[in-house]
Structure 1
Amino acid sequence: MNDFDFLAGHWNVTNRRLVKALSGSDEWDEFPGYSVATRHFGGAASFDEIECPTKGFSGLTVRVYNPQTRQWSIYWASSASGVLDTSPMVGAFEGDRGEFYGEETHEGRPVRCRFVWTVIGDDAARWEQAFSEDDGRTWETNWTMDFTRA
């Protein structure tokens, strides 16, 4: 249940986001972010806020561990929309890698979504988001965040 303990603290974040997802594009937009994460419920909950000053938005993530299913539910809110997602990404860690799946909408159409968290060490981690239009047979990574402890 302490899978996200590694994230507690202050981070510099390098974001790389695909300019146009699910279009065959390979043009990436890179921008900085700054994140602060905290642990709660003895490690069974994790909150973080990321600020992306050059993009003019902030995001908030809430993660809660379910001891019965041994899975995490991850919820996201953005200052751009002012809405907390009601459909979580759900999954678990195996070692230093966690995979989480859920349903999203991209440009008005439903897509499968995957988050991958990789713990690289005490001072580095990576998050990736990918979409699938074919129910998970193929994935396109459209956003990565490389975390370096501040």
Structure 2
Amino acid sequence: MNDVRDNAPAAHDFAFLHGDWDVANRRRTDFLDPDSAWEEFPAVSRCWPLFGGAANIDEIDVPTQGWTGLTLRLFDLETELWSLNWSSSRSGRLFPPVFGRFGPDGRGEFHGDDTHDGKDVRVRFVWSGISETTARWEQAFSLDGENTWLTNWTMDFTRRKAA
């Protein structure tokens, strides 16, 4: 049986995220309004690998907001694209996935289609600033076919120190 690592080194792109993190969230109060205020809140995230590294799950606990969320990431060996699939205890539904990959610069960009407040939006997730102890995720929406993007949520990850 072949190990996924033999076939697709990119299947380990998210290995940096495995483990426990403190997360500083910054989110617009209205995802579609560039003039809306920002709110900030802490969270704790834990990520673990599946399928020999070609998948992972992270769970984020946001006690000050009263919800938890999870992301299931799956690496497609045929297309060599990741799908990122988000759900939250606020709705209990799986949102449409975003798809993409990491570039040679270490920046990951992922795109998909969704709706927000009844409007069709193009969604972009970006992973950047990746090190052993830090990472940054951001979400942006486009209402005009990716001509312009409005960043509406950022998460700055800091690795938790072992007890």
> In which range does the TM-score fall when normalised by the shorter chain?
over 0.9
Contact 1:37 1:49 in 2 (8 A): yes
Q: Deviations over 1:104-133 (max 9, x none)?
A: 111111100000011431010000000000
What is the distance in 2 between the residues matched to 1:131 and 1:137? Answer: 11
Structure 1, unmatched stretches of 5+, are none
Look up the match of 1:129.
Answer: 139
TM-score normalised by L of structure 2: 0.89
Choose 114-123 or 19-28, whichever is displaced more: 19-28
Larger radius of gyration: 2
What is the distance in 2 between the residues matched to 1:131 and 1:102? Answer: 10
Does the alignment pair 1:120 with 2:97?
no
Structure with bigger strand share is 1
Look up the match of 1:88.
Answer: 97
Does the alignment pair 1:106 with 2:129?
no
Q: How does 1:14-25 map to 2 (within 5 A)?
A: 14-25=24-35
Contact 2:61 2:68 in 1 (8 A): yes
Q: Cα RMSD over matched residues?
A: 0.9
TM-score normalised by L of structure 1: 0.96
Look up the match of 1:142.
Answer: 152
Contact 2:100 2:109 in 1 (8 A): yes
Select 2:76's aligned residue among 59, 62, 66: 66
Letter of the 2:92 partner, please give it: G
Structure with bigger helix share is 2
Runs (4+) of structure 1 exceeding 2 A deviation are: none
Does the alignment pair 1:97 with 2:107?
yes
What is the distance in 2 between the residues matched to 1:100 and 1:120? Answer: 16
What is the distance in 2 between the residues matched to 1:61 and 1:140? Answer: 22
Give aligned pairs, total.
Answer: 149
